[in-house]
Amino acid sequence: MTEASDLVPEAPEPAEGSGARPGLSRRGLLGLIGAGTAGLAIGAGVGAAITASVTASGGASTAAVHPFFGAHQAGITTPVQDHLHFAAFDVDDDTTRDELVALLQDWSYAAARMTQGLDVSASGAVGGSPQAPPDDTGEALGLPASALTVTFGVGPGLFEKDGIDRFGLAARRPAELTELPAFLGDDLDPLASGGDLCVQACADDPQIAVHAVRNLTRIAFGRATLRWSQLGFGRTSKTTVAQTTPRNLFGFKDGTANILADDVAALDEHVWVPAADGPAWLVGGSYLVARRIRQTIEVWDRLRLAEQERTVGRSKGEGAPLSGGTENTDPDFEAAGESASPAIDVASHVRLAHPDFNDGTRMLRRGYNFVDGNDDLGALNAGLFFLSFQRSPQQFITVQRALAKDLLSEYLRHVGSGVWAVPPGAREGSYVGAGLFA
């Protein structure tokens, strides 16, 4: 990561409407946000200067750097990176509305810097007082931005918890933003589910993704507390034509029929919240569903290849539909198989998840493989950390309900879950979620 000292331009005045109020940050990291009068501001000049400096700095210029500001948050249509650190937070009971606003401002400020390959603050890991803990934890020093994106979401509990409207936001909650219903076969751990806020950090270097979540957790200290987090080590989808289709832990290509970044019509129809849906603060945003799905891979690995393929509905090698063709051939659900039954089993995953059988429902999938050690029987604690972005959580609910009778579900256990509204991207000089408090 580039050393911050040469790169940080003078902090501008707080942007009009950003709500930046230095006094609000006293419970945060003082070196990062409280010392100056404008530590929270993320001015247009800052973004531009950082980008230019990173480009001029050598090492970092070779790695992908994604802009933090824009119409949509990065980390949705961005080419899926190789690694994930996902985190869900609960806002502390004694946090005020102003402190919540300050937290979101501080997070945007730090995220904007980290995504450009910078430390979280001007003094960063080694530029501050030797007598004080550094603002930045330091493990990303010398590393490039590594395509880092940081995507923020707000959960149902931010609007109302136990019947209490903690932050005066209850009236602004979109009707769709409620906890997901129970699904057949759910075995959810409440401590690894939900959360008032979420952070999805994706990068091509796991150290960079972990650094982002670690530092955002530290910045939240005194205002929000980490509830649960998940590491993912291998992408299980693609979001651009240029990316190859990766494989999940069942060994199958995953992401073939995903919505891709250049399919603007599909994104508008299925992923971005339109003005017609509202609320206004969420237009251009999306809804994120996370499911921690344990895969019983030892059982799966004992299945005959033909049975594995029947379960998915695609071939294992090519990823082609069992009705024939190559990976990108459309499945033909009417095509006959060897016996009288269809080539693609009626209970296969691709058939039951397909838009043809779900009123045209689609979603943008962005999940990751995980392996979190093993259980005491020697089975890997492994699976898919499923992430999907959609215009309404109802899209996920529709498909997940259809998958209740899916052949694949015999080898899956949903153990964690969450849903968040993902605000649109911040304009330069503002912060993610500003519209919610306007």
CB of 200 to ligand HEM, least distance (A): 17
Of residues 65 and 198, the one with the C-beta less far from ligand HEM? 198
Helix (H) or strand (E) holding 200: strand 197-203
Of residues 218 and 294, the one with the C-beta less far from ligand HEM? 294
CB of 411 to ligand HEM, least distance (A): 8
Binding region for ligand HEM (CB under 6 A): 248, 250, 252-258, 291, 293, 295, 312, 314, 349-350, 353-355, 383-384, 386, 396, 399-400, 403, 412
Q: Per the structure block, which two tokens stand in for 357?
A: 């059988």
Q: How far is CA 205 from CA 11, 109, 113, 156, 382, in A?
A: 29, 21, 17, 31, 20
Of residues 13 and 356, the one with the C-beta less far from ligand HEM? 356
Of residues 315 and 430, the one with the C-beta less far from ligand HEM? 315
Query: Is the CB of residue 202 less than 8 Å from the CB of residue 159?
Result: no
Of residues 170 and 415, the one with the C-beta less far from ligand HEM? 415
Q: Measuring CA to CA, which residue among 291, 418, 421 is closest to residue 366?
A: 291
Cis status of the peptide bond prior to 279, with omega within 30 of 0? yes
Q: Per the structure block, which two tokens stand in for 434?
A: 């500003």
CB of 150 to ligand HEM, least distance (A): 24
Of residues 147 and 412, the one with the C-beta less far from ligand HEM? 412
Of residues 109 and 420, the one with the C-beta less far from ligand HEM? 420
CB of 35 to ligand HEM, least distance (A): 46
Of residues 413 and 427, the one with the C-beta less far from ligand HEM? 413
Of residues 223 and 291, the one with the C-beta less far from ligand HEM? 291
Q: Measuring CA to CA, which residue among 196, 213, 207 is closest to residue 86?
A: 213
Amino acid residing at 152: F
Of residues 104 and 412, the one with the C-beta less far from ligand HEM? 412
CB of 374 to ligand HEM, least distance (A): 18
CA-CA distance, 327 to 250, in Å (whole number)?
A: 17
CB of 195 to ligand HEM, least distance (A): 19
CA-CA distance, 135 to 120, in Å (whole number)?
A: 7
Of residues 109 and 252, the one with the C-beta less far from ligand HEM? 252
CB of 213 to ligand HEM, least distance (A): 23
Q: Measuring CA to CA, which residue among 432, 423, 435 is closest to residue 177?
A: 423
CB of 59 to ligand HEM, least distance (A): 35
Exposure string over 138-159, b if 16+ CB within 10 A, otherwise e: eebbebbbbbbbbbbbbbbbbb
CB of 248 to ligand HEM, least distance (A): 5
CB of 80 to ligand HEM, least distance (A): 12
Query: Is the CB of residue 52 less than 8 Å from the CB of residue 60?
Result: no
CB of 370 to ligand HEM, least distance (A): 10
Q: Per the structure block, which two tokens stand in for 427?
A: 């304009």
